[in-house]
Structure 1
Amino acid sequence: MVRLVLQSGTHVGRSGAKAYSLRGSARSGIRTDQGASGDGPVLSRYPWGYWKRMSEGAWCPRERRSPFILPWVIRAQQRGPVKVPFDAYMMDFVFSDSEDGHDATYDNRDGMDYHIPVTGGILKEPPMHIVHVAVEMAPIAKVGGLGDVVTSLSRAVQDLGHSVEIILPKYDCMNLSNVKDFQFNRSFAWGGSEIKVWFGKVEGLSVYFLEPQNGMFWAGSIYGGRNDAERFGFFCHAALEFLLQRGSHPDILHCHDWSSAPVAWLFKEHYKHYGLSDARVIFTIHNLEFGVHFIGKAMTHADKAATVSQTYSREVSGNPAIAPHLHKFHGIVNGIDPDIWDPYNDNFIPVPYTSENVVEGKKAAKEALQQRLGLKRSDHAVVGIITRLTVQKGIHLIKHAIWQTLQRDGQVVLLGSAPDPRIQNDFTNLANQLHSLHGDRVRLCLTYDEPLSHLIYAGADFILVPSIFEPCGLTQLIAMRYGSIPVVRRTGGLYDTVFDVDNDKERAQAQGLEPNGFSFDGADAAGVDYALNRALSAWYDGRDWFNSLCQRVMEQDWSWNRPALDYMELYYSARKLLNEESTCTLFQARRCTSICK
């Protein structure tokens, strides 16, 4: 018999119970020994039923039709029998502070519920059909992290057995060499223009490219036009029209940032009534710095919304575009694609390595990096910086860190460019000065160079990320994948993924991790020095300990495995709204306001 335990956790404003299995998942058709435990000064908790996910048994607060009510308060670990139906494939729990459910406060994890998977049933979890509408996708149309997320998240969800498609503009600047089986699919008329639709496979994903013949995407670049809002608005409308005319019925429409935000309100105001009524809209904010008006409007119309880390979700929660919608707003940390960023299968580094031979692998990469850039080939600590040179990325802190590293007898390699010509010119002057004074110990490469970035990740001892704000950040995750130690400012996703070796042991342990880097508060020279000096001292004074730290960070999993499951939870919670809307009466709906969302 499987023993299942409900254990308390920490959820702000919620009762805090958490379901998980100690010996595996529940099996259908048997009576399972159901347990619970609770601690801390939280609400008394009554498990309040379960339903078969995506089935007819949707839960509403006043309905008492669930297959079980465990008749005890969770104050210490307890058990009770639960019959698992033959046609169940997931047990979804909610909790109440009232045994009979009247005038109760419910905990459904902000609409996400608590889950225990079921095996051995007659039904299997039906796959979802998910359509991403986006303006970037790596590697064919990438400007920033948005393109990486669209591709990697889609691959991870597809690997879970779901059907994933991506709709993308067909830019005239797009490199189609990475598109397999590229072919014309169809054309349709909309908005006074013929729109040609092309199809191809990118990283194993089905991608539809929309090419309006009015020339909107024959601009030579992805962004930068004065009419970007008009172009992307046209694309979003055309994407929905394409789905409608094709006869598609996706379960989820997932749009990203301001550029595809119009999908949310165009669907709700128009296409929901035209034949795409079963879809639910998910909206992900990758950076609130751009297009806040569009983001606010999408937040209003989306069924569920997310941003790319828990801390960033709290940092932006007071923004007027976000604040009214916190009930449906979640933080999910991004991951990286371990197939793309893999030091064991990387053609851009000299020696393949894993955590087992990280010292040898990184030594060879450091020597290759020094040789390629003309730096002194010696055993110096190398600080790598891979970034866009913008104010957001902390360029004043980057400048200080370069001089501080040189003062500590280290080497510095910077790779990056600035979209602002004034900043680019400023760093060009700095590069000339540094190369003249310390030519054998510093190199500023003010350009984009993908192969070089791989070599820096492998050859550097540290990767510096001093961002003023950082919604998630992928640089620190890639650094750890290559055994380089991140030195970061404590903000956004940097705070959620980097745990200081001296100050964050308990916080890391709470996440099931060990400390993995160095971090600092503030946005001044003293803050950078606090983290950077400790990092360099660890390298100089405790090389064995430092090597073990490199091995440790390589073994941590920052892939899309966990984030993909979190997004699936978001998709399920949005789909559950369909059942709740059909089963809750008007009177019940009034009581469901903060529950069934």
Structure 2
Amino acid sequence: MKALTKERTLRTFLLSQKHIVYTDPLDVQAGKTVTVFYNPANTVLNGKPEIWLRCSFNRWTHHMSPLPPQKMFPSENGSHLKANVKVPLDAYMMDFVFSEKEDGGVFDNKNGMDYHVPVFGGIVKEPPMHIVHIAVEMAPIAKVGGLGDVVTSLSRAVQDLNQNVDIILPKYDCWKFNNVKDFQFHKSYSWGGTQIKVWFGKVEGLSVYFLEPQNGFFSVGCIYGRGNDGERFGLFCHAALEFLLQSGFHPDIIHCHDWSSAPVAWLYKEHYRHYGLNKARVVFTIHNLEFGANLIGKAMLNSDKATTVSPTYSQEVSGNPAIAPYLFKFRGILNGIDQDIWDPYNDKFIPLSYTSENVIEGKRAAKEALQQRLGLKKADQPLVGIITRLTHQKGIGLIKHAIWRTLDHNGQVVLLGSAPDPRIQNDFVNLANQLHSSHNDRARLCLTYDEPLSHMIYAGADFILVPSIFEPCGLTQLIAMRYGSIPIVRKTGGLYDTVFDVDHDKERAQVYCLEPNGFNFDGADAAGVDYALNSNLCLVQWTRMVQFIM
């Protein structure tokens, strides 16, 4: 199933570029001739009298590289130009850019990333890179938000592509030790006026090095929230680079995340690039610009490439002073979820394993189990799930409105989440007391963290609401779709990039070779929530959509 999903996903990705570039055949084979089709109308080369293809292989490293520029000619379909290329037997990747003249001029190089198409059946495999993530969160052992999920999921995905991945993490005293396998002492060294013990273990199949400064910086019972967080994480970043140097590591890529490991970017450039770690390039990813903008700006300056977690969020923050000077090396790459961790076919927390083939039976069983566990009325009413941190970013006013509107529509609602701000937490405690007395059989607010219950809600809910005021990417809507729950989201950040409205987004979805997969709404007011809820709670023919989004 996983192999088929990967094959289908790759094909969908290749087709999603078809309005600009595609190949025939779509699956490029080593030793064969392939036709490259290109539509300059959707690029910076629009209107140029000539277009030239400049092609190479194996990420521009092939011994035949690059091929002589080749003039492109009109194809039969009218919109695209075409050129034929013979693919060598020792190719594993096809690389190309386009130009207006044989000797250059204006280039379309996909904003500095170039166009790449995998080659199959070659006699040479791509050599692995060594990638090191330096981060302060990692799911499930030290997770506060989406950053922790992405560090784990991205590392597993890249490792699955046969790259070598290591993670460097602080050794907290509040971590979930039972999720670490083969835990053992590795070495110790002195840095920053303290001894640093290094431990090694496997987390979700990934190699992780845990740094434990003996000054007690990470023996404070929490990940964030101390008055000296900047000092704590600054020491960790410097100690991580020192560990790489002293251990003889020579990574190709050092990947740091958000403000908490942003110092890695300039510490590497100022202290390590010329002293033994000269091979590495630094990638910096912004997961949320709400915190540490000054540190983020300095990391943007010093990194080789900078990314954020969705294309729309990259546009939304492009005018920020921390970002604006560095747009030439900044792009949004959509987050994903780990389909092994979030898998309704292999989930120990739900009553019945299911795929898109038996999703109706699987979700019905999960819904009944959820209703029974929470003491809700066992009824075939639409059930709206809300799984979130209760902060202003997540749209707490819209959440409250949606709860009452769902109940007005004779639906059921389950909320799982807690607030770091005690005032917001108390406000929702009062709301829970009110709902549990007035709508006891149709509403339940669980104001805590409960991983097993979250799986049950994803599987048992008909709809998952994510009304965020801003959302760099969001994983909730992606997990919801994985479990066959229809997402209801506000049009912002990655929510807009991943959820295509049933009524208004058919053309936008088609650009990505997709179909509408949920409901989204404009505005941060009650009217937008009402539109989405009024549309979906009355939705009858939703079986096909549920199967598609899975």
Higher RCO, 1 or 2 (CA under 8 Å, sep at least 6)? Answer: 1
- Please give the alpha-carbon distance, in whole angstroms, between the structure 1 residues aligned to 2:63 and 2:320: 33
Question: What is the identity, as a one-letter code, of the residue corresponding to 2:497?
Answer: D
Q: CA deviation at 1:374?
A: 1.2
Aligned pairs (5 A) from 1:51-130: 51-54=56-59, 56=61, 66-72=66-72, 76=78, 77=80, 79-85=82-88, 87-101=90-104, 104-130=105-131
Aligned 8 A contact 1:8 1:39 in 2: no
- Please give the alpha-carbon distance, in whole angstroms, between the structure 2 residues aligned to 1:314 and 1:134: 25
Aligned 8 A contact 1:343 1:482 in 2: yes
- Please give the alpha-carbon distance, in whole angstroms, between the structure 2 residues aligned to 1:121 and 1:359: 43
Aligned 8 A contact 1:136 1:168 in 2: yes
Size of the aligned set, in residue pairs, is 530
Residue 409 of structure 1 corresponds to: 410
- Please give the alpha-carbon distance, in whole angstroms, between the structure 1 residues aligned to 2:353 and 2:120: 40
Deviates more, 1:80-89 or 1:92-101: 80-89
Structure 1 residue matching 2:166: 3-state secondary structure: strand
Residue 548 of structure 2 corresponds to: 552
Question: What is the identity, as a one-letter code, of the residue corresponding to 2:495?
Answer: L
Aligned 8 A contact 1:8 1:38 in 2: no
1:115-169, CA deviations, whole angstroms, 9 ceiling, x for partnerless residues? 2333455532111000000000111111111111001110111011110000000
Aligned 8 A contact 1:26 1:116 in 2: no
1:453-506, CA deviations, whole angstroms, 9 ceiling, x for partnerless residues? 111111111111100000111111111111111111111111111111111111
Structure 2 residue matching 1:40: 3-state secondary structure: helix
Residue 230 of structure 1 corresponds to: 231
- Please give the alpha-carbon distance, in whole angstroms, between the structure 1 residues aligned to 2:310 and 2:250: 30
Residue 153 of structure 2 corresponds to: 152
Unaligned 5+ runs, structure 2? 1-13
Question: What is the identity, as a one-letter code, of the residue corresponding to 2:549?
Answer: V
Structure 1 residue matching 2:273: 3-state secondary structure: helix
Distance 1:33 1:440, change over 3 A: closer
TM-score by length of 2: 0.92
Q: CA deviation at 1:37?
A: 4.1
- Please give the alpha-carbon distance, in whole angstroms, between the structure 1 residues aligned to 2:66 and 2:462: 56
Unaligned 5+ runs, structure 1? 1-6, 60-64, 555-597
2:501 is equivalent to residue 505 of structure 1: no
Structure 1 residue matching 2:143: 3-state secondary structure: coil
Aligned 8 A contact 1:43 1:97 in 2: no
2:30 is equivalent to residue 27 of structure 1: yes
Aligned 8 A contact 2:308 2:314 in 1: yes
Residue 162 of structure 1 corresponds to: 163
Distance 1:196 1:80, change over 3 A: same
2:365 is equivalent to residue 364 of structure 1: yes
Aligned pairs (5 A) from 1:128-277: 128-277=129-278
- Please give the alpha-carbon distance, in whole angstroms, between the structure 2 residues aligned to 1:194 and 1:178: 26
- Please give the alpha-carbon distance, in whole angstroms, between the structure 1 residues aligned to 2:384 and 2:120: 49
Residue 573 of structure 1 corresponds to: none
Q: CA deviation at 1:40?
A: 3.4
Aligned 8 A contact 2:411 2:442 in 1: yes
Aligned 8 A contact 1:50 1:93 in 2: yes
Question: What is the identity, as a one-letter code, of the residue corresponding to 2:313?
Answer: Y
Structure 2 residue matching 1:270: 3-state secondary structure: helix
Structure 1 residue matching 2:370: 3-state secondary structure: helix
Structure 1 residue matching 2:199: 3-state secondary structure: strand
Deviates more, 1:479-488 or 1:67-76: 67-76
- Please give the alpha-carbon distance, in whole angstroms, between the structure 1 residues aligned to 2:63 and 2:253: 18
1:80-138, CA deviations, whole angstroms, 9 ceiling, x for partnerless residues? 4434445443221111112332xx11111111101233345553211100000000011
Aligned 8 A contact 1:405 1:411 in 2: yes
Distance 1:356 1:9, change over 3 A: closer
- Please give the alpha-carbon distance, in whole angstroms, between the structure 2 residues aligned to 1:529 and 1:8: 35
Residue 46 of structure 1 corresponds to: 51
Q: CA deviation at 1:23?
A: 4.5
Aligned 8 A contact 1:167 1:208 in 2: yes
- Please give the alpha-carbon distance, in whole angstroms, between the structure 2 residues aligned to 1:366 and 1:122: 51
Deviates more, 1:40-49 or 1:91-100: 40-49
2:493 is equivalent to residue 492 of structure 1: yes
Aligned 8 A contact 1:19 1:114 in 2: no
1:343-374, CA deviations, whole angstroms, 9 ceiling, x for partnerless residues? 12212111222212211111111111111111
Residue 590 of structure 1 corresponds to: none
Residue 580 of structure 1 corresponds to: none
Aligned 8 A contact 1:341 1:478 in 2: yes
- Please give the alpha-carbon distance, in whole angstroms, between the structure 2 residues aligned to 1:58 and 1:87: 10
Q: CA deviation at 1:434?
A: 1.2
